[in-house]
Each structure stands twice: as C-alpha cells, then as structure tokens.
C-alpha cells in the first residue's frame, strides 16, 4: 500500500466534496458546510478564517479516511472508481450515524447558531439523505479512481501447477 498516494487521493476527494457542498449551499440547499463546521468546531467565529481553517481540516480528514480506503482496496485486491464508490456507501452509513452527535460538542450547534444536520443530513428530508450518501459515493469514487492511477496493480502470474526448469 502506498500511504502517501492514498492520502493525496483523499485530499483531492475531500476537495471535490467541498465543491459539491459549496454548490449545494449556493443553490440554497441548506446542508452542513463541512469546512465551516470544522473551523467553528475548533473555536473560530463564523467567517472566512473559520472556513479556510475548516477547509484545511476537511482536507486532512479526507486524507486520513483515504488511508482506510486504501487498506480496503488492499483487502479487495485493487482500487477503482466503482470499488471506491461502494466503500463510500459504507463510509456514509457509519459517519452519518455520528453526525447528530456533533450537536452535543459543537459550540454553535449547542446554542442554535448553526443547524444540526441530523443523521445523514436528515434535517433536509430525503433529499438531504440522498445528497449525504451521494457526496460520499463521489468521494470514494474519486479516491478509488485516483489511487488506482497512482498505484498500478501488479499482475499476478497464474499458477498452472506446471514446473519447468529453464535449460
């Protein structure tokens, strides 16, 4: 496994996620902005500084998650967009359960200044849930696709059972 390459693939995947989240927010689809969430979670007031700090944290977290994806690619004998997207479904399923717990520790969600997303962005109804799974599937597909290109698979030689000695 190539840890550094997996980390880079995760950073790119998290950046793509941020673009999708920003587009949804610009279209008045009120989902949790992960960059703002991370930046204000560490105590910064809402604003550009919090968003930039949070964006950096989100990229770091994306890189860390990609290390887990790479370990799974190793277990499943290869990476790729489809395999990454499938892992993204599991990623969303696990992290979506934890999402409402943010309201317990996040200072702005505690006092009502930032909406709690609920499990799987369910505060936005079925469209929020579909969006939450969608961005994680895209993250996984980007990580899988990019990692597969950066770490070419070694071709296993088929074992024919035929032992030949070269003369």
- Please choose, from the candidates 65, 83, 85, the residue with its C-alpha nearest in 3D space to the C-alpha of residue 74: 83
**Helix, strand, coil: what percent of the chain each, to 5?**
70, 0, 30
The per-residue pLDDT for 153 is 67
pTM of the full predicted structure? 0.86
pLDDT tens digit string along 87-133? 999 999 999 999 888 888 888 887 778 888 889 989 889 999 999 99
């Amino acid at each position: 496994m190539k840890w550094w390459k997996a980390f880079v693939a995760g950073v790119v995947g998290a950046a793509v996620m941020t673009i999708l989240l920003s587009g949804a927010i610009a279209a008045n689809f009120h989902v949790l902005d992960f960059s703002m969430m991370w930046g204000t979670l560490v105590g910064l007031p809402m604003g550009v500084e919090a968003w930039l700090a949070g964006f950096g944290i989100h990229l770091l977290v994306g890189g860390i998650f990609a290390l887990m994806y790479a370990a799974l690619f190793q277990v499943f004998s290869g990476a790729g967009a489809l395999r990454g997207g499938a892992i993204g479904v599991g990623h969303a399923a696990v992290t979506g359960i934890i999402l409402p717990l943010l309201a317990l520790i996040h200072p702005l969600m505690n006092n009502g200044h930032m909406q709690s997303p609920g499990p799987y962005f369910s505060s936005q109804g079925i469209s929020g849930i579909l969006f939450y799974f969608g961005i994680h599937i895209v993250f996984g597909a980007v990580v899988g696709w990019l990692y597969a290109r950066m770490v070419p698979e070694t071709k296993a030689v088929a074992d024919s059972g035929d032992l030949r000695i070269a003369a």
